[in-house]
Structures are given as structure tokens and as C-alpha cells.
Structure 1
């Protein structure tokens, strides 16, 4: 790269990167419980939650403070109103705590992530502004891969070193808005010339982080060191590629190539409002089948298998997003319940299994039956992540907690854990009764945050697939 084009951008790297999915769900849940408090008390409460994370109890205060800064700065899990001197959970934290959907969380994170951005220290942001940097990494990478695939009619990929040296560290891209096909020409020529890149971890870490986060978001798939645009996530990928969303607070300074550190600092709260802005429930839809499928053939086979026998209960409209069909997690459980009853020899009861529309707000998702025809009312709680998580928390809304209290032993929570290529189901019965007998913990928060021990509160069971 000609030296005049070189400029290295970076961002905060969380100390918990290797365990990032577990940490973020845990912290989003804990932060959501804290609510709004004076900023100093809020910080103390967050620190106390960080110490409760497994392995942190002996960590020094400086390390705990760094965790808090990283959780706040990079991921925007809480916000501050300096005028009132209060801090409070960000909307992204509340969504993650309630929905347990890390794929959705990282899609929204990458959708908003830009340089310059409030995830950097003010003086670092000021330097980016003086350099004229104006860059959305996930968008540029996906736009390039899609444009080349459209032109060549072939699948193409990028690796972390190429992303680092040809995109992240090149002012032609991050400042000048270079056409993505020109970026690809440079990458292709380097491949033809057998250019050797510097692959050291401290060199490729920032572009590498973004590609890793894109994989967690299911926007790309990784084979070895090669990252491809995920062809099964067309809607989400196109939303990122076509978006003109941008935090414009820095724009006048970028145009002038001049800004002071205090002027950047004054924009921090506006930045966190931007990354936590309200988005429609279906803004990004986690297509669970696209998430667990290996390829398009596998996707179509899974779709046919899961919907077989329950098509009258769940409307099929193209991509199977969580809100479009009442959550495929619920569809999987519906199929499980139907098969459980069939195996039990009571096919005459299958018609009694019903998927409850969410707008009825009855406090449960599936109305099922026992083999003796008595009711089994099921609330489905699904956690979605790239890696398999051992996570024993979920949230019940006020209506769900009330229904659990009303129906007692007839009320079940099906805890469905979906990770790439693996599905696990844990069944918990009568959460209110278990709370009253100290078999699980409950913390009030616009309903109830539940924490349970798998060996005390229920049982893991095989997730059954409906078969005619």
C-alpha cells in the first residue's frame, strides 16, 4: 500500500472476547435489572454484577472497571443522562435480556457500528474526524462481496488479513468511499501476485473482530479463514448493504476536518441514543432455519420437516422470521408436543394442541395436553447463539408470571437453546411453585427474571421432530 493511503483504525477490544456471547447475555440481564439510578450508584451496581460473572470474583477493581467501560462503550448496554446525573439500561440491553437473541443483537450492533463513533475515546474520535474518516465496515464488506458475486456469478470470500490491509487500514476506503469493485480489484491483484500479508494477531485484530461479529450475526459464514456473505440471510444482508443510516453528529466536523476533544465529548450521549434507538420488532428477523441450516438444500429440507403437520397453525410467508410466524422456536416446540402425544398413542388428542397468537396475551405460547387430556400450557423461551451456551436465565412478562401463578403445575416453560447445528430443550414446570419452595430464584423486573439450576428445576429432553 502506498504510504500516503495508510491509516490504522481501531476500536475497544473487550477482555471477554473469547466468551463474548455468554458475557453479553449475562450482563444485559443484570443491567436490565438495575433500572435507572444515580450514575455513581449505577456504576457500582454494574461492577457488582460483573464480579458475579463466573471467574471474576477475585479480579482487581481496575479490571472490573475496564469491563464496565467496554460493555458500555462498545456495545452501548447502558446510557447516561448527565443533566439529571442518572444512568439506565439501554434498549439493546433490555431487548437482549428479554429475547435472548444474540444473532439479532449483533445484527443491530453492526448495523449501527461506524467510524467515527462513540465507541472510541473522544481524543481518538477527534483524530479520526481530522483524517476525514467516514466508514461503516460491515456495510462495505458485504457490499463488496455481493457486488463481486453479482458480477462474476461465483461465490467469493475475504479473510481477516485482506480486510485489515485492503479495507480497514486504507484511506481510499475509510475516507474516500472507494467503490467496492475497486477494493476487490486490489485484493484480486494481490492474490495473483501472491502478496504475503502480516497476519500477526495485534495487526489483524480489529478487522478480525468485525468479521467475527458478522459471523455471530449470521451475516457471513466462515470456512477455515475465508468469510463468505451468508446467502441464506438475504434480507438482513441487503438491509445492511442498502442502508443510509448514519450518526450525523460528527458530519460538520468531518467536512471541516477540525474538531476539539470537548466537542466530541459533548456528542457522546447523542451517540448512545442513536445506537439504542427504537427499531420495529421485525427490523431484523432472526430466521432460525437460516441460522441452523448448513446450506440452501439443508434449509429447504428443515423448512419442510418443521412445517409438516403444523402448517394450519403457523403461516408460511417466505423467510421464517421470529415475529412473522410467532417464532420458529414455538414451531419447533409445537412439533415436539405433537410428536410426544403421537408417541404416547393419543393421536386422537392432536387437534387439541394449539399455537396461541401473541396478540391474545394469554401468558403462554402453546396450549398442549397430557396423555390423560388435561391441559399443559407452555411458554417457549428461546436463546439463539453461534456457540452452545449453558445459560439458565429467562424473563417472564407480567402476564406470563400471572398465568404461571394461576395454572401452577399445568404451566411449563420450555427453554429452547439453539446454537449452530445443535438444538437443546430443557423443560421447567410450575415456576411460581418452584420459586415459593426455593428451587429457583426470581427478581421482579416488569414481570420476573428467573434464574434456575438445571439439576433442581427440571430436565433436559430430546427435542422431538414431527413425523407423519
Structure 2
């Protein structure tokens, strides 16, 4: 068999920053998004000091050298745009703040891929200049999605691509990255190589950059794989895929230099702040928030059941109150119900936990108490999300914290607002934090009872931060429970 070779006149290897924490990237990014958001805008030296301190606190980093910690910070900043720079200050970028607030890693990777391009200030200025002089003008995620859509429309369903094909036939070929070759021609090249049993250089160092983008597209739920070799379009994400394919957004700071195939280091450096402003721009008109139920369902039947449970739980949670409610209350709750969406992580998390609580009470033989389990609309600001009950009829107040990711995450940190912490203090052992983590493969529920009491016993750590940042060891406090699904 012959090994594929890109014609020398078309060969140019593009690259990007490759984070040292790639194997743990989802845990690191959500942790750093929260930490950077808490730091806020600071004078540069102070911001760096506090950001580094946060990186040192990440599990396994306590004894790392300062050089490694600095590398982590610059990689997080350069590749993912989590830090914005001004002339005198650094501050958390919009993308970091969004991730910290929404806890949606799938959405975060979609937004990142939507903006990611070559050239971009995610690499050193000298490397940007090399790409400019080569005429590179390329958005990888968009091209891969266009190519796979074409292949599936013209060659039958379920056609995928390997990282090796993406590397050699797309990323390192100027016919694609410079000349914008039509996806039909690129796909024909890949198809012909398959037909002729052509092989590819599969050396890790060669394919790593194309492989990274493919991996990030899987985290973003745009691609799926069954064997970690061939990657396919995720047809459940058709709406997002169309947005990618039809997008004309592009950072044009380098365009004049790209057109001239010439630039200067000074001109490239002048674009850095504009690049990070572009990465962190407001894209509110482009909604990439995750349809959580579709994401976690294993098939269409389970999706149907999850949606029915979520909607029924939402209605059941307030039925008793609506019976004798005043008009104003009724109006507010009705508005809340109308706003329910399967793309709201808070809504879904609370819905799933409400179903869990109802089933817990039913299995305990106290089905007569289920009507007491109620979801509390956020605008009432009572310091918890669900008013539940014990089998002996005592109250249980539940604050739900939900995160969505492609892989299971660490469960050692939550943030409580001032109101939530105060309510936890007043209700003590009646107060529970339910930490719910949803991924493609798992739904993990962790219960932390009486966080204020645990803090006063020095069993958990708490740092005041517009409320309370709580860190804990799941092996020493709290417990895991199976997430129950409500069934009549």
C-alpha cells in the first residue's frame, strides 16, 4: 500500500497552542472559568498573582514549578481567550464568565470553535506571520462540518472522517487552508484514497493538531464516534451545524497582510488585543446553549420520557399553590412555566431532581407526601430551588447545582450565593446541596447536607466570594446517590 503525500507545493503544517492539561481539559476549563471570574478585573501583576494562585490550588499542581503554572495561565488565555488584556489591567473574558455562570461546557466549546481560525493570536506572533505569508485563511470546524454534510448528502448516510484524513487532506494542505478548495474536491480525494487503500502517516506529533480540533468538536457534540477512530456528524445538532456552515464571521485584523502575503511583527502584535476582543464578543444572536435532554438521552424513547417528566414535574411543582393563589402569584408562576426550556441547565437540573425526590418518597412508602415537593421559581429568592420532605414529614430544602459536560467532572467545589449561604445557616441540617453532573455517559448526583455545619466543623473549606466558594473531599463528606427517574 502507498502512503499518502501532500504535493510539496501545497504542504504547510498549521498548528495552535496545545495545552499541557488537554487530557483533563473540561475539568480545568470550568475550574479556571470560575476562578478567573471571581478574580475580576485587576492591575496586571495582581491579576497574574491571583490567577497563578488559583492554578496552584488545582489538584496535582501544588508542587509544580512556577514556569509550569505560568504556562497553564498563558495557554488558557491564548487558546481559549479566558483572559482579556487592557493597557493596565487583565480581566476575565466574556467566554470565561459565561462558562462560570452557565456551567455548560458543551456550549462553551461550540462558541470557541465557532470563532477559532487560522491565523489567530492563539499562537506566537512569529507563527502568525508565517501563516500570513503562506496566505492561510481557514476556519477548521466550519470546513470539516461542510465536508461531512456534503459527503453524507452525496455518498449515503453515516459517512465519517478519521483524524489522519483530516490532518493530511485538510489541515496541512494549502489547497484547503489557503485556496479554499471546494469540499467536493477534498472529499473526492479522501474517497479515492480509501478506494485505493492509501495509508497515512499516523505519527502522534503529525496528527495532533487536527486531532485536537476533532476532539474539541466531539466535546461540543458536533461530532460523535463509536470507536475513537472515525468521527461522524451528530445529526441531533443539525441546527448548530447549519449555523457553523452558513457563518460568515471572521476576524479580519490580518486580512490586508494575508492578501499581500506580507506583514510585520509590529503589525501582527498590534492585532493581539483586537483578537481577544473578537473571541470575547457578544454573540447573543447565535444561540449554542445545549438541549440538555437531547444530549443525555440514549435514544428517542428515553428523550420522550425525559421531556414528559421535566414538563410534568414543572407543572406538578406548583399545582397545589396555584389552587389558592392570588392573581399576581398565578401570573408570575405562569410566566415562569412559559419560560421553561430544555436548553436551560438550571431548569433541567431542578426538573430531574424534583423527579428524583418524588420517586424517593414514593419508594419510601409515603406517596401521600409527594404533593409537598415543590419547585420554587428563582424570582422568589428563598435561597433554595426545591422544597422537599423527609419520610417523617420534616422539611428538606434543596439547592441544585447542575453542570453539563462530555465527560464526568470532579465534584469538589460549588458556589453558594449570599442568600443561599444565609438560608443554609438558618436551616442547618435541613439544607442540602444537590450537585448534579450530566454527561453523555453518566448522570451523577452528590448530596452535601448542612454545608454551614460542615464548615464550622472544619470538614469543608469555605472562601467568602460574593457568597461562599465551598470545596470539599467527596470521600470525607456527603454521599453519592442514584438519580431516580419519576415513574407513575
> TM-score of the superposition, structure 2-length normalised?
0.88
SS at match of 2:128: helix
Residue 21 of structure 1 corresponds to 26
Closer, same or farther: CA 317–98 of 1 in aligned 2, 3 Å: closer
Asked if 1:107 corresponds to 2:114, the answer is no
Q: Closer, same or farther in 2 for the Cα pair 1:360/1:242, shift >3 Å?
A: farther
- With 71-80 and 232-241 compared, the bigger mean Cα shift is at 232-241
When residues 108 and 69 of structure 1 are mapped into structure 2, their CA distance, relative to the original with a 3 A threshold, is same
Q: CA deviation at 1:244?
A: 2.1
Q: Residue 431 of structure 1 aligns with which residue?
A: 451
Distance change (3 Å), C-alpha of 1:181 and 1:400: farther
Q: 1:58 to 1:410 in 2, by over 3 A?
A: closer
Aligned counterparts of 2:225 and 2:352: Cα–Cα separation in 1: 26
Q: 2:148 is matched with which residue: 145, 149, 154?
A: 145
Query: Are residue 49 (structure 1) and residue 54 (structure 2) matched?
Result: yes
| 1:239 matches 2:249 | no
User: What residue number does 1:269 align with?
Assistant: 273
- CA shift, 1:357, in A, is 3.0
Give the whole-Å Cα distance in 1 for the aligned partners of 2:212 and 2:107: 17
Deviation at 1:68, TM superposition (A): 1.8
1:121 equivalent to 2:127? Answer no
Cα RMSD after superposing both structures? 2.5
**C-alpha displacement of 1:282:** 8.0
Shift in Å, 1:459: 1.6
SS of the residue 1:327 aligns to: helix
CA distance in 2, matches of 1:433, 1:268: 48
| Aligned CA distance change for structure 1 residues 149 and 168 (closer, same or farther; 3 Å) | same
Of 322, 345, 348, which residue of structure 1 is paired with 2:344?
Answer: 322
TM-score by length of 1: 0.91
Residue of structure 2 aligned with 1:278, choices 254, 278, 282: 282
Residues 30 and 318 of structure 1: CA distance in aligned 2, closer, same or farther (over 3 Å): closer
Aligned to 1:312, the other structure's residue is in SS state: helix
3-state SS in 2 of match to 1:457: coil
Structure 1 range deviating more: 348-357 or 122-131:
348-357
Please give the alpha-carbon distance, in whole angstroms, between the structure 2 residues aligned to 1:151 and 1:360. 54
Partner of 1:420: 440
Considering only CA atoms, is the larger Rg found in Structure 1 or Structure 2?
2
SS at match of 1:74: helix
- Residue 446 of structure 1: how far off its partner (Å): 3.2
5+ residue gaps, structure 1, are none
Report how far residue 69 of structure 1 moved. Answer: 1.5
Question: Match of 1:72?
Answer: 77
Matched, 1:60 2:65: yes
The answer to which of 120-129 and 455-464 deviates more is 455-464
Q: Does 1:181 align with 2:201?
A: no
Structure 1 Cα separation of the partners of residues 284 and 425 of structure 2: 31
Shift of 1:62: 2.2
